[in-house]
Structure formats: C-alpha cells, structure tokens
Amino acid sequence: MSTHSARSTPDDNPGRQLAEAILPLVGGAANVTSVSHCMTRMRLGLADRSLVQDGPLRALPGVLGVVEDDTYQIVLGPGKVARITPEFEALVQAAPDRSAAPEPAPAGAGRTAADLAAEGAALRAARKEKNATPVKLMLRRIANIFVPLIPALIGCGIVAGLNGLFTNAGWLPSLTPALAAIASGFMSLIAVFVGLNTAREFGGTPVLGGAAAAVIVFPGVAEVSAFGQKLAPGQGGVLGALFAALLAVYVEKGCRRFVPSAVDVLVTPTVTVLVAGLVTLFGLMYVCGEIATGIGHLADWLLQHGGAVAGFVLGGLFLPLVMLGLHQALIPIHTTLIEQSGYTVLLPILAMAGAGQVGAAIAIYLRLHRNTSIRSTIRSALPAGFLGVGEPLIYGVSLPLGRPFITACVGGAFGGGVVGLFYQLGTSVGSTAIGPSGWALFPLLKGNHSLGGIALIYALGLAAGYLVGFVATYFFGFSKQMLTELNAPAVAQAPAAAGGPSPEPPPSGAPDPGPDPGPAPAPAGGGGSLV
C-alpha cells in the first residue's frame, strides 16, 4: 500500500490517495469487475470476494463502513464518493495486467478473527444471492433508474428552497425568476431522464428510451385525446416515462431480431419510437396518470387519517424494510410525489429511523463503558449518523448487537409519530428531494406552512427519535449477560473458537467489538439511507 500512496499526497489529490489505498485491499485491479457509485457508496463487482481484506479496509481514514449486497459497497459519504470513484476507476483501468487475478492466501496462513468474519460474510452474501427473488431483483433495477437522478433532485431542491425564501422575504426580486427556472427546469424534463436510464438499465438504446418518454412532456399532447379526455403535458409523470421506455426496449429488441441489418439503422429506431409513442399517448399517459394521482391521494389520506399511528408505523418499519431490500420500491413513489406537489411527505417520517439509530448509539456508548473498541466505532460514526448516513451505526454497532437494533427502530417509530401527528393537525412536512436525511434534510424541507414552522416540527421529530432511541436502548437494549460479556476486559473479548461466526468488524476499523451476543440478521439490501 505504501508504494501506491507514495505517488500521491493529501495535499495534491486526497481522493486519489484514498483510491490507491483501497485498491490493494479489495484484491487489486484484477479482482474488480465493475465500478459504480450512488449517493454514499462506491459499489464494486468482485471476481473473488475472499481476496478482500475487510479489517484493514474498514480501518482506512475516510472509509465509513462496508455493506454486503449484490455488489461490495464501500461507504464513503455524500459528495466524497463522487470524487473518489472516478479516481478508483481510473486506477483499475490503468492497471498493467488485469487478466491474472491475484492468488488467494493459503488456507490457514495468518488467519485472524477478522478473516473468519469476512469469510462468514462472504458465505452469507453468496447464500443471499442464490435466494434473490425476482421481486427484489426488479426493485434493485428500478432503484438503478432513479438513484442517478438524486444529485440533480437535491441541487434543484435546494435552489427551489432558496427561491422560496427570497420570494417570501421580498429579497432580490430580479434574481428569483432565474432561480425558479433553474429549480424547475430539471423537474419539467425528468421524464426524459427516467426514459434514458430505463433503457440503459434494461439493455436498450438510451436515446430511444428518452425519445419515447419525451412524448409525455411535449406541450403538443394537449391536442391529443385518450379515453374521451384531452391529455395534459406531463400526465403520467415518471411512471409513464418508465413504462414508455421499457416498452421501447422490448420493441427495439424485437426489431433487432427480425429486421435485416442492411435497413436496421432506419427501420428499428422508427418502429421503436412510433410504437412506443402511440402506446404512450393512447394508453400509458392516462393509466399512469391515474396511478400517480392515486399515490398522491393515498399518501395524503394515510397521514390525514392515520396521523401519529401512520407515522409511528412508517418510522418504525423503515429499517426492517431496508434490511429486506424492499425500501427501493419507495423511490419512484417519492419521485412521483415531488413531481406532483413539489415535495414528498413520506421522506421526513422515514428519516426518523436514523434518529433512533443515533439515540441508540449514544446509549450503547454509555452502557459499554469498558468496551473501547465499540465506543471508538460510535465516536467515529456519530457525526455521519447525525447527517443521515446510517450504515456505520447500523452495520457496525446496533445490528450486530441485536437488541439495540430493535430499540433503535422504536426510537424511529416515535419520531415518525410526532411528524405524522402534526400532519393530521394540518401541517405537512415534506422534502423537495430524496437521498439526504438527518440534519442534512433541513435545507430541503418544504410544506404547507412557513419554513420555520416546518423545520421546528422536523426538529421535534428528530429530538423524539434521539430521546426514545436512547431511553429504549439504555434500559432495554441489553441483557445482564450481554453487558457482562461486552464490558469484560479486552483479552476476554476475542470471539470464542467454537462460538459460531463472529459479527462483522465495525465500519470504523476498530478491533472486534466482543463476543457474539447472538445471531443478527445479515444485511439484505442497503443501509439506513434511501440509496
């Protein structure tokens, strides 16, 4: 690793230095089959999972943790991941010989508890991959369509918030029209971007998917009638764009099979755009428009009539949904709500799950006063937790311990209940973008009242999540035996050889946190965030 870092220093390119440090710890360039990233994680496809050195990787400054899913995901944090991933990808592509994979270490040579934990994680990941259901795989593909749009949603959402602030305060009246155009331009064409990403994800030509979806936002559709009604530009929204582009992919693939190659360049694009466009105009726009309207009405009805109960259930169940990989189904729902009303009322409630995790982590820190490794992990992970990056606390602290994960969910439920109660009383708290949570969500808040009042309600929800997560974990998160074992002297905290698989090392790279308090569910599909 020193040979890599010698070529770079923190002063000239810290992103490249971290990329150079990560590469040998994931088995080298020959072991990397794919590189991509989302809002917080660099996602790697690996040829041989056993070559990854989990302990040293987690110990790297700047690495917040790792997550096992269909790819090996290194948590780097928002903003940072977008700088490091291109550097890492460039290093992989520039490797002199990627054809020969490095030899795995001989069995039994220098194996440590961390090595055993990594092997157990690899077995769990392999078993999970075999048991992957078609529904979960489809939800992942849908997430792959919408996740690349999140940076633009965040940027435009913050600009929209600034524009609203300046407009209400009467500041800079000559600038507010420009801010409105910047904030609204992307949302007015989001259907096109959904079409591009859908076609790319399902193996079609992206521009043809975008062309099929562009029909939805063309102003001239107001002259077209379907089901006895005039269409409206934008009707059907992102759902219509998704299905339009998906149809275009299947039409294009069908044409490729039957159209002679001599005329393929003329016939296939024409037939694809024509068929997908007609079906979109005379079917998908109306049907998907009704579905989108129904989603908006359902979210409003749920919180108006369910109030605190609905918020309690949503806030408490979000992290279990994440563990099952089902949270990805919420991404198009959030996007649809933002497209309809300018904000999603579900995200601030779901964000309370992270508040429960933070409260639980503080309680764990106080209860395990002798366990320096877990306390070190919590100290390093708490700042990210307050900003809504929940993976380090979930996978490095609460989930391996078992019971604290449940009490953290209780904290999230109470926080969601507070926000849901105020919605029932007439104040909706929403977010103009998806992705951020915790304190990072404050700049994106929007609702039906003043920004100050909305921010206050959201802050009350966070406070309730912190407090209840702390109290529930402090008093009910540990059995007497767990406290005795986890607070034992460091020499006694090594996992017993016959005690079963040890928990995964904490994300901060601290030593093993102690004996396994009991089996914990394996990560199934993501982290505490929406991406």
Q: Tell me the three-class secondary structure of 37-75, residue by residue.
A: ECCCEEEEEECCHHHCCHHHHHHCCCCCEEEECCCEEEE
Coil/strand/helix, residue 225: strand
CA atoms within 13 A on the CB side of 249: 17
Residue 527 pLDDT greater than 60, yes or no: no
pLDDT, the chain, mean: 82
What pLDDT sits at residue 218?
95
124 lies in some domain: no
The region of weakest confidence among 209-218, 348-357, 431-440 is 431-440
Name the residue type at position 528: G
Burial (0-12, 13-18, 19+ Cβ within 10 Å), 121? buried
The answer for residues whose C-beta is within 8 angstroms of residue 174's C-beta and 6 or more apart is none
Enter the tokens of residue 97: 């010989």
Residue 325 pLDDT greater than 80, yes or no: no
317 lies in some domain: yes
What pLDDT sits at residue 123?
40
523 lies in some domain: no
Cβ-contact 478, 462 below 8 angstroms = no
Residue 290 pLDDT greater than 80, yes or no: yes
How far is Cα 507 from Cα 528, in angstroms, rounded to an integer?
A: 14
Residue 304 pLDDT greater than 60, yes or no: yes
What pLDDT sits at residue 83?
85
Could you tell me where the DSSP H helices lie in 131-220?
134-146, 150-169, 176-188, 190-201, 206-217
Enter the tokens of residue 282: 């005379």
Determine the straight-line distance between the first and last CA of the chain, rounded to whole angstroms. Answer: 30
In total, the chain counts a number of residues equal to 531
Cβ-contact 374, 392 below 8 angstroms = no
> 340 and 475 share a domain?
yes
- Return the percentage of the chain with pLDDT > 90, whole number: 46
What pLDDT sits at residue 391?
77
CA atoms within 13 A on the CB side of 31: 19
Q: Which residue range forms the structural domain that includes residue 423? A: 300-487
> 316 and 266 share a domain?
no
> 344 and 226 share a domain?
no
What's the pLDDT band for 506 if we cut at 50, 70, 90?
A: very low
> 305 and 418 share a domain?
yes
Model confidence over 110-166: pLDDT tens digits?
333 343 334 445 444 544 555 467 877 788 889 889 988 988 988 998 998 888 888
What pLDDT sits at residue 478?
92
What's the pLDDT band for 328 if we cut at 50, 70, 90?
A: confident
> 412 and 339 share a domain?
yes
How far is Cα 497 from Cα 502, in angstroms, rounded to an integer?
A: 9
Residue spans of beta strands (DSSP E) within 295-371: none
- H/E element, 264: helix 264-279
Domain termination site, one of 255, 282, 309: 282
How far is Cα 479 from Cα 483, in angstroms, rounded to an integer?
A: 6
Give the range with max mean pLDDT: 49-58, 86-95, 210-219, 367-376: 210-219
Q: Read off the DSSP letter of residue 284.
A: I
Model confidence over 74-123: pLDDT tens digits?
988 777 887 898 889 889 888 765 544 444 444 443 333 343 334 445 44
Average pLDDT over residues 31-55: 86
How far is Cα 223 from Cα 388, in angstroms, rounded to an integer?
A: 45
Residues annotated catalytic, as ranges? 38
What pLDDT sits at residue 15?
82
What pLDDT sits at residue 326?
76
235 lies in some domain: yes
Domain termination site, one of 218, 252, 282: 282
Distances (CA, A) of 292 to 224, 337, 430: 20, 8, 17
Domain termination site, one of 75, 94, 113: 94
> 309 and 271 share a domain?
no
What pLDDT sits at residue 140?
82
What pLDDT sits at residue 395?
77
Greater pLDDT, 522 or 280: 280
113 lies in some domain: no
> 446 and 331 share a domain?
yes
Q: Read off the DSSP letter of residue 344.
A: B
Model confidence over 440-494: pLDDT tens digits?
999 999 999 888 899 999 999 999 999 999 999 999 999 888 888 888 765 444 4
Global pTM value: 0.74
How far is Cα 85 from Cα 78, in angstroms, rounded to an integer?
A: 12
The region of weakest confidence among 32-36, 61-65, 161-165, 224-228 is 61-65
Measure CA 351 to chain center. Answer: 12
355 lies in some domain: yes
> 252 and 181 share a domain?
yes
Q: How many domains would you assign to the chain?
A: 3
